[in-house]
Structure 1
């Protein structure tokens, strides 16, 4: 797997993690974040350490990004994904964290932010169409409209999208 120019971007407000290679969006995943008393830190970090099967509440994978032991990890409580419940870590479904784990290396940049003003890709992101995708499904996934997707991508026939095609998604 080519790890060059990969980065993780985590939006705490929207509670999602995105994996990019250059400006291409490779994956968009729901997460749980730190509760108010132990918030997930914001700023620029990098992958410091990776561990398979760390056990217990950490689920199937551990990706550490601070020396204060904050990390991205799986969970043994998947029903809490989408909530602010952790001690500052970023929790993911175990299948999702396995996907991220195999695509990043120690040193991969991680940008964690709270609001849209600090988004490193403010105008749009790039999404690669997956098998089974329709514009309607993509619009739902990114909280936009089919009309907006057609407009920004200048699609002549919205019924003709194909796996591997790259689409701009407005923020």
Structure 2
């Protein structure tokens, strides 16, 4: 049938080509999976995609741990002030909430930087959750790059809660920079971590008395941790 070996090779190649073209145009019934014609045409196994890994959202300040002395804790604290009074120990960067019976809840705070500390007695006149921030004109004059208004939220410098003091421009508020607790950095406001300011906010009401001690009051820390 074939006159030479070369013709045999050409015939074999042509036959394989025809088979391959037929395989390409062949449509298998919808109910049956197509069968491979040759072992080297076997389909590659399909690898399942790895399921997505659930990642918990990061909390504000999650990777920053306050020094032990600045963590919220009940301490021995003797005061003639009525339970519920807030006392700001400016030199030691503490806020005490008088509990009575010689005890207080102590919080670490951030205070005013040099030239911006103040002292006196005020009352909480307003409370706000996730407050908006409108820098006062005095602050804008010093820092003209500041926004004129900022809506409340996790990125707001006032943090999760604010308690407004009298008719002043000062507040006790949270912060999105927990590493500033225990430092002198603000323009006179008193800041706590968001977790701590939420706790304090839940314990006080409008009308709460707030005593801010002067920086020159160098009495030793009167709050002793209860063991």
Measured against the shorter chain, the TM-score band is 0.5 to 0.7
The answer for the alignment partner of 2:129 in structure 1 is 52
Counterparts of 1:10 and 1:102, CA distance in 2: 18
Give TM-score scaled by structure 2 length.
0.49
Could you tell me which of 103, 113, 116 is aligned with 1:25?
A: 103
Are 2:151 and 1:83 aligned? Answer: no
Cα deviations across residues 117-160 of structure 1 (Å, max 9, x unaligned)?
5x9xx9x6686x5xxxxx3xxxxxxxxxxxxxxxxxxxxxxxxx
The answer for the alignment partner of 2:120 in structure 1 is 43
Cα deviations across residues 82-119 of structure 1 (Å, max 9, x unaligned)?
111001000101111111101101111111103145x9
Counterparts of 1:52 and 1:85, CA distance in 2: 23
Describe how 1:127-166 pairs up with structure 2 within 5 A. Answer: 129=226, 135=227
Structure 1 segments (4+ residues) deviating >3 Å: 124-127
The answer for the alignment partner of 2:167 in structure 1 is 67
Deviation, 1:37, is 3.1
Could you say what secondary structure the match of 1:98 adopts?
Answer: helix
Deviation, 1:24, is 3.9
Structure-2 change in CA distance of 1:73 and 1:46 (3 Å): same
Could you say what secondary structure the match of 2:98 adopts?
Answer: strand
**Does the Cα contact within 8 Å between 1:23 and 1:126 map onto a contact in 2?**
no
Counterparts of 1:101 and 1:11, CA distance in 2: 18
Structure 1, 27-36 or 62-71: larger mean CA deviation: 62-71
Matched length? 121
Structure-2 change in CA distance of 1:25 and 1:116 (3 Å): farther
Are 2:174 and 1:97 aligned? Answer: no
Larger Rg: 2
Counterparts of 1:6 and 1:24, CA distance in 2: 13
Cα deviations across residues 38-93 of structure 1 (Å, max 9, x unaligned)?
22x21111111100111210000001113122010000111111111001000101
Counterparts of 2:218 and 2:123, CA distance in 1: 21
* Consecutive unaligned residues in structure 1, runs of 5 or more: 130-134, 136-171
Structure-2 change in CA distance of 1:106 and 1:15 (3 Å): same
